[in-house]
Amino acid sequence: MEETLMDIDLKDKEEYIVNMGPQHPSTHGVLRFETCLQGEKVKYIIPHCGYIHRGIEKMCEKLTYPQLLHLTDRMDYLSAHINNEAVSLCVENAMGIEVSDRVKYIRTIFAELTRIASHQLWWSAFGMDLGALTTFFYGLRDREKILDIFEETTGTRLIQSFITPGGLMADVHPNFQRRIKEFITYFRKKLPEYDQLLTGNIIFRERTKGIGVMSKELAIDYGVTGPSGRGSGFHCDIRKIAPYSAYPFVKFNEIIFPEGDTYARYLVRMKEMWESLNVLEQLVDNIPQGQIMLELKAIKAPKGEYYQRVETARGELGVYIVSDGGPSPARMKFRTPNFSNLFIINKIASGHKIADLVAISGSLDLVIPDIDR
């Protein structure tokens, strides 16, 4: 049976148990924090997940590889392209095929655009969690430009299902490169505005500096990856450790801050947006010619077990396929970044005020459907 705080004998009658969620606006989804409070202080937290469990791993077993891709979009919906890419790379590795350089470049461009769009939305929502509503409108205004680039090529804005095993669903739109270049110049001007609005703000700094400190050891113990892990000085960028797609061809820095507090996690994401713009600039003019979709008779992984990991906007996504040689997997397992990132919250938020809990959970950048799958 699941242990809840209700079962724990409360010796101190000053303690209260408060549910934050599942419909709390700053949990960004249906997640419940069972919070034990002593006055305004958080004593400990038990996160409860499963409110948006859809059984995606089990559903994948009934579908062929191209079909199951559209389910992976719906895990971490803010990194839809990268989730598609992870499954595609895993299936391609299993089949022993390699896509053309053109496909690799376009996939990486889409992945970096996704990363920027995801960080923009996170920045908007993080400001809003801390009481600065303006950031929400500014972030979404700039995110719209990326969504337009997606929509023009893929036809949809949030969940694209564009990257498939063997290549891409279609070639990019003729306006693709021009729009990205326009976006790079536009967003380079807007990013300093973000810093003036929020990063420098005294209220924001007071609320984030020294709050929710996560040591490097703790991050490694709990498997906290992505910007949250790098904010604690944990070298965990899969793009650097095990480069895939077009990442071996580009130069970029892995952003690491050793402080480990909420402000450091914030700065990692802000700096990552600059790095992603650099990566885009290196790729967008050099897209080589090549085949968009390999001509495959059937997409079947040979019998065996395969694993592929990629870096999404939130951390390390691992795709594990057990195949019996058929057109669909015998078992599919996703190692999602948010699941690992969530459970650190009891360690780092205990002892802080309840308002800081909102700042800490915001800085972990949780996407709830990715936790529950």
Partner 1 sequence: MALLKTIKEVGNYFNEIYDGVASLVRGMKVTGGYFIKRGQIVTQKYPENRATLKMFDNFKGELQLIHDENNQHSCNVCNTCARKCPNGSIEVIYKKVEGADGRSKKILDKYIYHLETCSFCGLCVPACDEHALRFDQEFEHAVFDKSKLTKVLNKPGSTCKVVKE
The nearer residue to partner 1, 196 or 289, going by C-beta atoms, is 196
- Which C-beta is closer to partner 1: that of 5 or that of 169? 169
Among 50, 155, 302, 326, binds partner 1 (CB under 8 A): 155
The CB-of-217 to partner 1 minimum distance in angstroms stands at 33
The CA distance from 64 to 9, in Å, is 50
Smallest CA-to-CA distance from 115 within 257, 251, 318, 273 is with 273
Site membership for partner 1, residue 177 (CB under 8 A): no
CB of 338 to partner 1, least distance (A): 22
Interaction between residue 93 and partner 1 (CB under 8 A): no
- Cα(78)–Cα(88) distance, rounded to whole angstroms? 18
From residue 221, alpha-carbon distances to 188, 230, 312, 340, 366 in Å are 37, 14, 20, 10, 19
Among 116, 198, 287, 317, binds partner 1 (CB under 8 A): 198
Please state the closest distance from residue 90 (CB atom) to partner 1, in A: 18
Contact between 354 and partner 1 by CB under 8 A: the answer reads: no
Task: Compute the distance between CA of residue 221 and CA of residue 126 in angstroms, rounded to an integer.
Answer: 26
Amino acid at 257: F
Half-sphere exposure of 95 (CA within 13 A, CB side): 23
Which position among 52, 63, 213, 220 is part of the footprint of partner 1 (CB under 8 A)? Answer: 63
Tokens 């996170």 correspond to: 122
**Which C-beta is closer to partner 1: that of 160 or that of 308?**
160
What is the spatial distance between Cα 262 and Cα 359, in angstroms, rounded to a whole number? 7
Asked if 201 touches partner 1 (CB under 8 A), the answer is yes
Per CB under 8 A, the list member of 68, 219, 348, 360 interacting with partner 1 is 68
**Please, which residue, 161 or 323, has the CB nearer to partner 1?**
161
Q: How far is the CB of 30 from partner 1 (least distance, A)?
A: 20
Compute, in degrees rounded to 10, the torsion defined by CA atoms 40, 123, 339, 54: 110
Closest CB 64 distance from partner 1, rounded Å: 8
Asked if 156 touches partner 1 (CB under 8 A), the answer is: yes
Find the part of the chain contacting partner 1 (CB under 8 A) among 50-58, 167-175, 296-304, 364-372: 167-175
Among 1, 2, 3, 196, binds partner 1 (CB under 8 A): 196
Beta strand extents in the chain (DSSP E only): 15-20, 32-38, 41-48, 163-164, 167-168, 304-311, 316-323, 331-335
171 makes contact with partner 1 (CB under 8 A): no
**In which residue are the tokens 């499963």 written?**
50
CA distance 47 to 342: 8
Q: Give the binding site for partner 1 (CB under 8 A).
A: 63, 66-71, 134, 141, 144, 148, 151-156, 159, 161, 169-170, 173, 193, 196-198, 200-203, 205
